[in-house]
Amino acid sequence: MRLTHVAHLRLPFGRVMGYDLTVGATGERLPVSFDQERHVGQGDRPGSWMAITVRLPDVDLDRLAEAWLAVVRRHGTLHTVFSLDDDGDVELHEVEVGPGSWREHPMAPGTRLSDAIRGVLDEHCRPLSRPSHRLCVVQSHDRPTVVIGSDHAHVDMWSLLVVVRDLLRELGHTASEVLPRAFSSHTESLLGRERPPQDVRDRWAEVLGACGDTMPRFPLPLGDVTTPVLERVEVRDVLDVDAMAWLERAARAQGVSTLALVTSVLTRVTRSLADAPFRAVFPVHSRYEEIWHDAVGWFITNAVIDSPDPDPTACAAAVKEAIRLGSWPLADVFAPYGGMPQSPGMFAFSWLDLRRLPVHVDHVGLEAQYVSAAGRTDGVMVWFVLDEGGVHLRCRYPDTAEARGSVGGWLDAVVDGVRRAARDAGTTLEVDGERLRVERAERADVPAIVALLADDPIGASREHGTASVYQEAFDSLVRDPSQLVVVVRDGDEVVATAQLTILPGLSRGGTTRMQVEGVRVAPRWRSRGLGGAFMAWAHEHGRARGARLSQLTSDTSRDAAHRFYERLGYEPSHVGFKRPL
């Protein structure tokens, strides 16, 4: 799923339509969560929203409005509104919502579509709006784009997925009759939990004390941020899907999670550039029980992560501690400070692996985008999001000259460190008393790969392309996320290669397969165990990419290769055919 910012939003141009729900009188008063009180207590303002966009097949606007109203009525927090009483205290009330009408949001000449969307969401998705969410449709020439925005007090990123999934179900008449529990019930359950144990309160005090009795701050200069300034948002694609699989393999080899390994990079970079430990606010979800998985609300609370040691095992312990620190009601923790103590420069680090969420939508087919608002900031917020396309990063920081240099340099080092960790994760193969490495092929490896492909009578008879033809073919493979060309290195020498292709399919119960092609081993390494070790590595890669079946073809004259594959468990179950085109 594309992680983006409203200024970078990619949408086809078209008319912008918004749906006005009717909102009735204020009803029952509901409990307000700790984070909702902090957020809404800062007052009504633009830029406090988050949004998701999806492209749908052509849909009737009246049918879409009907489905949207059903989703709003389904989720308790979507038919609640905030207000401030005469003393400035935050109140939350239930309201009745009913059908309304569509209206076009006009765009002045020269207005960018992203700016128009920003203006609509800034107007309607404020903390005190009634309601503080908005359904929009961009009517383009081919198919509509649905934009759903909401003030953050009512949703988190997980919740936006739930909203999209339920909207699609309503449109398809497949909505569940079982209603999820309202977020206010979750707030009430947290208020009834026992107080944090003394060791948790002591550890919070220790970390905050090390930060000057405030939440962690970015350890490098940000310039004058005594008041919030215009923000800069950077979005970076850190790793593609294959590099992410290599990073995960490296983490498993060290007995830690991928999050812990990335935390190791963050810790090392922060120590190198700032001579300080990696300390940051660390949001953790509070959907402790399965009953909340299909609910909508702000199921996020804050922890702190304190990581002075870049050793991955130590970082795993720091992550575990952070999750524990965030698993208790925070009102008692922050009572000695009169609330959550924060100051300009607050530093936060968020991690979300969308593949592990129990809520799924076809984000590729829907061309889904997570969208953050634009506004002012005095701190640094870093999000890592993992999905089927790889590892992505978004960072918001003050747009000052100092911050551009310090945060930008820190981000460069972090991205480089994560990529190096994935690159260095090339598996070491122990073969015949020697150590070889499996690595992703690079463009400079193409001549050596072609030489291996041609190093037998069959290959020599068909490998006649020019160097530029092979390089162009390699470039095409690199651009295709389903393809991976790998090599085995003995020092600097390429001694084996293979091309691995991930093939989603409908047959065999929707089985994803891995196609293995172009397997070659240099003559001096044949019959020494390299082929078996290399194929075992390939099978592990296929499993990491979700494949449940590995398949290959082999020329009918390659009797030795057939015996080799059969020893690995392959069965000659099919007859292959080829035809020139």
pLDDT, tens digit, 9 for 90 and up, residues 378-427: 999 999 999 988 999 999 999 999 999 999 999 999 999 999 999 877 67
CA atoms of 575 and 546, how far apart (whole Å):
25
Per-residue confidence (pLDDT) for residue 209, from 0 to 100 = 97
Sorted by where each starts, the structural domains of the chain and their CATH numbers stand as 2-185 (3.30.559.10), 195-365+374-425 (3.30.559.30), 427-568 (3.40.630.30)
Q: Which residues pair with 398 in a beta bridge?
A: 231
How many C-beta atoms surround the C-beta of residue 89 within 10 A?
11
Show the CA angle centred on residue 174, arms to residues 170 and 179, nearest 5°: 75
Per-residue confidence (pLDDT) for residue 389, from 0 to 100 = 87
pLDDT, tens digit, 9 for 90 and up, residues 251-268: 988 999 999 999 999 999
Mean pLDDT, rounded, of the chain: 94
pLDDT at 150 over 90: yes
Element holding 581 (H helix, E strand): none
pLDDT, tens digit, 9 for 90 and up, residues 160-209: 999 999 999 999 999 988 999 999 999 999 888 888 999 999 999 999 99
3-state SS of 497-513 is EEEEEEECCCHHHHCCE
Per-residue confidence (pLDDT) for residue 498, from 0 to 100 = 97
Q: What is the mean pLDDT of residues 237-263?
A: 93
Please list, in sequence order, all residues whose beta carbon lies within 8 angstroms of the beta carbon of residue 46, skipping any fewer than 6 positions away. Answer: 122, 123, 126, 373, 375
Please list, in sequence order, all residues whose beta carbon lies within 8 angstroms of the beta carbon of residue 317, skipping any fewer than 6 positions away. Answer: none
Model confidence at 66, in pLDDT bands (50, 70, 90)?
Answer: very high
Per-residue confidence (pLDDT) for residue 465, from 0 to 100 = 83
Q: Are 117 and 11 in contact (CB under 8 A)?
A: yes
pLDDT at 73 over 80: yes
Per-residue confidence (pLDDT) for residue 292, from 0 to 100 = 95
pLDDT, tens digit, 9 for 90 and up, residues 557-578: 899 999 999 999 999 999 888 8
